[in-house]
Amino acid sequence: MAMENTEELSPLRITATVRALSSALRGKREPVHGSGRGKGDRTFPEPEKLWFKESSAKNLRNRDFLSPSTMLNTLYADGQVPPAVMSRVLSLRGSGVLPVAGGEVMGEGLRLRVDRVAAFRAVLAGGTTEYLKPSGQREGCVVLNCPALHPKPNPPAPDTLSLGQLRTVLLADHMGAMLRRQGFEVSFCPTLPEDSDVAAFLRALGIDWPTAQANWTNDEREERIQKVLESSPYRERGTGSGRRSSGGGGRKAVEEENEGGLRINLKQVFQEEGMLGYDPTLGTCKVHRDSVSHLAQLDLSTADITGTMVTVLHVTSCQDEFRQQQIAVLWRASGAAHSQRHLVCGPVKTPGSHLTAAQYLQLRKGQMKEASEMKYGDKVEGQTWDDIIKVMTSATIRFELLSTVHTSPVTLDVQREGGVSTKGPRGGVFVMYNCARLHTLFDSYERGVEKGLYPEIPDGSQLDFSALKEEGEWLLLFNYLIPFSELLDQSGQALDCEGGGARVNIKTEQICKFLVSLSKDFSSYYNRVHVLGEPLPHLFNQMFCRLHLLRALRELYHSALETLNLPPIRQL
């Protein structure tokens, strides 16, 4: 009994369960030979391919995990699982492993059902804290560099910032929040003038980008880097040696005529320094003042970091990727030895229109206000509603630009008559609306307690979780509450991957997709189930079990929205 209690205290994990199931099914078996198919030796499956977690409501009605018949056939003759192996699978226990209730071999493979009552009890009665944070804490420092915000040579402004560049800023902001949650020390580059229009614009979107006083300069650091590059062994001597120029705005033509300028052989740098995955056509690059300014900002962002590994993640648009590779190699030539990776974003397309970031924000804000007025009428006024519309607008923009795989293009509907719907599963608005529904539910419950209709919610250890029989309840626990912690782990794990070259691919779209999917399933459940029932004692156990589940879900919303730097909406 003590062993069971110890196991229940360990947070349940999908990965740990799949690993344990694979070990139990596979044992120490060798590949099966022959089998009447005439193909000789069979391919031995990888352990992680032996089992699959189900997620669709249809499949979850009869199984939670499946080992497909194709996998069973590679392990056992005719796919027949020996009784001893089946017994080992069905009696599986271990730290983080979901409790098994039963299983059977059917046409599609070995179907396994989880002991759902035990799983509900483990998660809801044991406290959900461990399910709302990464499974482990990481060490190290990540600098998120956003080239779109560097002066090149003029400082960026909301009226000149493109939607593609805005996408990179939002992605950097999201990555910063995700990595901080995992324990990384995170800083951002460049530092913006505190009174600049672009800093105010980012604040309107809920982005807290680092700023400095308007009269602050980085001149001394720029001069030092210039001198280092002038004495670099990678410096090209003589004239006419450059294949490409990094560009310098309106000064490009003038500067390229000055063949005596400072040039660095970038190809030699990345070959001799072992920088993998860089464009072989980088060639020789002329060093312009805005490039040195960029390097000085990078240098500043890492200057005070000592005794820990630093990874600099350049978050850039595909249009600016070549230039950013030049900057990265130039920085290495100046003596910076930090690991550098490139997170590259696809373009943002607006068929039939061309909008700047400022115009896009104003459009979505106006549409959000109009949609709110249509739904809620005259009460849409005052500071509270201004704050709600600001957050809802920010949510709309973040979900529109971050819900797509970061390397893929995003196509936006920016027709002014399109509007922003407050109904239907349409990204940010839908997510925030369903989060607000949970707050409204608990407000209603608290009012019922004040009126004496309901008692306070008892501790989960006092409840019988077999009352949670709705398929939607298991869906919310199994697809969202239990897997969330492992979802938070992924961005840090991607940074650890070596050998992938300059580019790094991170599933940055997953939190947005997770929240939209969660909101669809919660909305379906909430519309179907009456949570706050009649105040009758014999109904209280089921109501309290549901409130425990939905309270955990509310905290899950908060935790996921925090990675997008979005505060929850508590009323609508």
Q: Write the single-letter amino acid at 461.
A: S
- Asked if residue 336 is part of any domain, the answer here is no
For residue 336, the model assigns a pLDDT of 92
Predicted TM-score (pTM) of this structure: 0.89
For residue 501, the model assigns a pLDDT of 77
Longest dimension (CA), the chain: 91
- Which residues touch 28 (CB under 8 Å, ≥6 apart)? none
For residue 524, the model assigns a pLDDT of 95
Distance CA 155, CA 157 (A): 7
How many domains is the chain partitioned into structurally?
1
Helices then strands, counting H and E runs in the chain, come out as: 20, 14
For residue 326, the model assigns a pLDDT of 95
Distance CA 86, CA 19 (A): 16
Average pLDDT, integer, range 146-170 = 91
Is residue 569 pLDDT above 70, yes or no? Answer: yes
- Residue 528 burial class via C-beta count within 10 angstroms: exposed 0-12, middle 13-18, buried 19 and up: exposed
Average pLDDT, integer, range 262-289 = 91
At 408 the three-state DSSP class reads coil
Q: How many CB atoms lie within 10 A of CB 256?
A: 15
- Which residues touch 529 (CB under 8 Å, ≥6 apart)? 470, 472, 546
For residue 122, the model assigns a pLDDT of 94
- Asked if residue 89 is part of any domain, the answer here is yes
Q: How many CB atoms lie within 10 A of CB 480?
A: 23
- Which residues touch 441 (CB under 8 Å, ≥6 apart)? 526, 531, 532, 550
For residue 256, the model assigns a pLDDT of 40
Residue with structure tokens 């992680």? 48
For residue 107, the model assigns a pLDDT of 86
CA atoms within 13 A on the CB side of 207: 27
- Asked if residue 106 is part of any domain, the answer here is yes
- Asked if residue 80 is part of any domain, the answer here is yes
Cα 550 from chain centroid?
23
DSSP letter string over 269-311?
HHHHTT-TT--TT--EEE--HHHHHHHHHHHHHHTT--SS-EE
Q: What is the mean pLDDT of the chain?
A: 87
Which of 295, 278, 282, 273 minimizes the C-alpha distance to 242? 282
- Residue 277 burial class via C-beta count within 10 angstroms: exposed 0-12, middle 13-18, buried 19 and up: middle
For residue 378, the model assigns a pLDDT of 81
Crossing angle (nearest 10°) for helices 197-204 and 357-376: 30
Is residue 238 pLDDT above 70, yes or no? Answer: no
CB 467 within 8 A of CB 541: yes
- Asked if residue 75 is part of any domain, the answer here is yes
Q: Which domain covers residue 52, as residue numbers?
A: 48-114
Average pLDDT, integer, range 135-163 = 89
Is residue 8 pLDDT above 90, yes or no? Answer: no
- Which residues touch 201 (CB under 8 Å, ≥6 apart)? 158, 161, 357, 358, 361
- Asked if residue 83 is part of any domain, the answer here is yes
Q: Which of 243-257, 274-288, 502-516 has the lowest mean pLDDT?
A: 243-257
DSSP letter string over 139-169?
--EEEEE-GGGS-SSSPP-TTT--HHHHHHH
Average pLDDT, integer, range 169-184 = 95
CB 499 within 8 A of CB 276: yes
Instruction: Work out the angle at residue 441's Cα, subtended by the Cα atoms of residues 515 and 540, and round it to the nearest 5 degrees.
Output: 115
- Residue 45 burial class via C-beta count within 10 angstroms: exposed 0-12, middle 13-18, buried 19 and up: buried
Phi, psi of 264 (to 5 degrees): -120, 135
Percent of the chain with pLDDT over 70: 87
For residue 480, the model assigns a pLDDT of 98
Is residue 252 pLDDT above 50, yes or no? Answer: no
Distance CA 520, CA 47 (A): 32
Percent of the chain with pLDDT over 90: 66
- Which residues touch 414 (CB under 8 Å, ≥6 apart)? 350, 353, 355, 360, 363
**Distance (Å) of CA 545 to CA 120, 532, 541:** 9, 11, 6
Q: Is the peptide bond before 347 cis (omega within 30 degrees of 0)?
A: no
**Band (27; pLDDT cuts 50, 70, 90):** confident
For residue 251, the model assigns a pLDDT of 36
For residue 151, the model assigns a pLDDT of 80
At 214 the three-state DSSP class reads coil
- Asked if residue 108 is part of any domain, the answer here is yes
Q: Is the peptide bond before 153 cis (omega within 30 degrees of 0)?
A: yes
Q: Write the single-letter amino acid at 91.
A: S
For residue 45, the model assigns a pLDDT of 54
Average pLDDT, integer, range 407-418 = 82
- Asked if residue 63 is part of any domain, the answer here is yes
Average pLDDT, integer, range 288-296 = 93
Total count of residues recorded for the chain: 572
Give the 3-state DSSP-derived string for 506-532, with helices as H, strands as E and coil as C.
CCCCHHHHHHHHHHHHHHHHHHHCCCC
Is residue 152 pLDDT above 80, yes or no? Answer: no
For residue 325, the model assigns a pLDDT of 95
For residue 427, the model assigns a pLDDT of 86
Q: How many CB atoms lie within 10 A of CB 78?
A: 10
